[in-house]
Amino acid sequence: MNAIIEVSGVSKSYGGVKANSDISMQVQKGGITGLIGPNGSGKTTLFNSIVGYHPIDKGSIKFEGSEISKLQVPAIARLGLLRTFQQTRIYGAMNCVENMLISMPHRKMTFWDAFSRNDAEQIERAEGLLDFVGLYEKRYLRGGSLSFGQQKLLEFAMALMNEPTVLLLDEPTAGINPTLINGLIDRLKRANSEFGITLFVIEHNMRVIMNMADHIYCLAHGEMLASGGPEDIQNDQTVIDAYLGAH
């Protein structure tokens, strides 16, 4: 596999606080890469830097070989690099199908817009992806009426609607009922294997990330602590001392 995201010597500070310091890493195309670390270790800051939410202070971020560190969110999204959030960003007053349609960056529309334009293809595609994540029977319910776990599934489906090349997921299982977690993991793996979407995942649930990721990076205090396969990370004493020992 080849690296689809290359982070080289990236640093980011907020005032006098260093959120990321000289971070270098690679996300391999077609794989599932994990990112772990204690709260405040700089994981979300790194995600935000990659997708263009704020400029880095120094370093380089490349996507498919091209520098993207100077680009902002819309331009990076158009390249096929998307992310989800710890707190879902759905439209609570709209039903699930409408959420799917309005999530598309170049074709934001409501269900009735699509219906009036006879855009049955997009409606069918939205319903198919809602079926993929297990929300087909709730497709005409308002997003705000769904449970938090179901809202996360909806946000995941909204991201899939945009056909991302790489999807960054920020704690996808956080706050989800344990009974839904296995189903979510299965769908993430299927999105990777069936749709060919590269996944880069921040996750605090060690059982989840160790069973899902091909390669894992661990941050601590804004610095890279360790990297390797799941077994390597589980047996790395520095990681155990800094993070895993608390789990």
- 232 and 245 share one domain: yes
Query: Is 201 a domain residue?
Result: yes
Query: Is 7 a domain residue?
Result: yes
Q: How far apart are CA 162 and CA 37, in angstroms?
A: 29
Residue 106's pLDDT band, with cuts at 50, 70 and 90, is very low
> How many separate domains does the chain show?
2
Residue 245's pLDDT band, with cuts at 50, 70 and 90, is low
- 72 and 21 share one domain: yes
CATH number at residue 238: 3.40.50.300
- 52 and 96 share one domain: no
Q: pLDDT tens digit string along 56-91?
A: 999 999 999 999 999 999 899 889 999 987 777 888
Query: Is 174 a domain residue?
Result: no
- 70 and 96 share one domain: no
- 72 and 104 share one domain: no
- 132 and 158 share one domain: yes
Residue 112's pLDDT band, with cuts at 50, 70 and 90, is low
Q: How far apart are CA 111 and CA 95, in angstroms?
A: 9
- 92 and 47 share one domain: no
Instruction: Please give the residue range of the domain that contains residue 21.
Output: 1-80+194-247
Supply the pTM of this predicted model: 0.90
Query: Is 247 a domain residue?
Result: yes
Boundary residue ending a domain (145, 163, 181):
163
Q: pLDDT tens digit string along 42-53?
A: 999 999 999 999
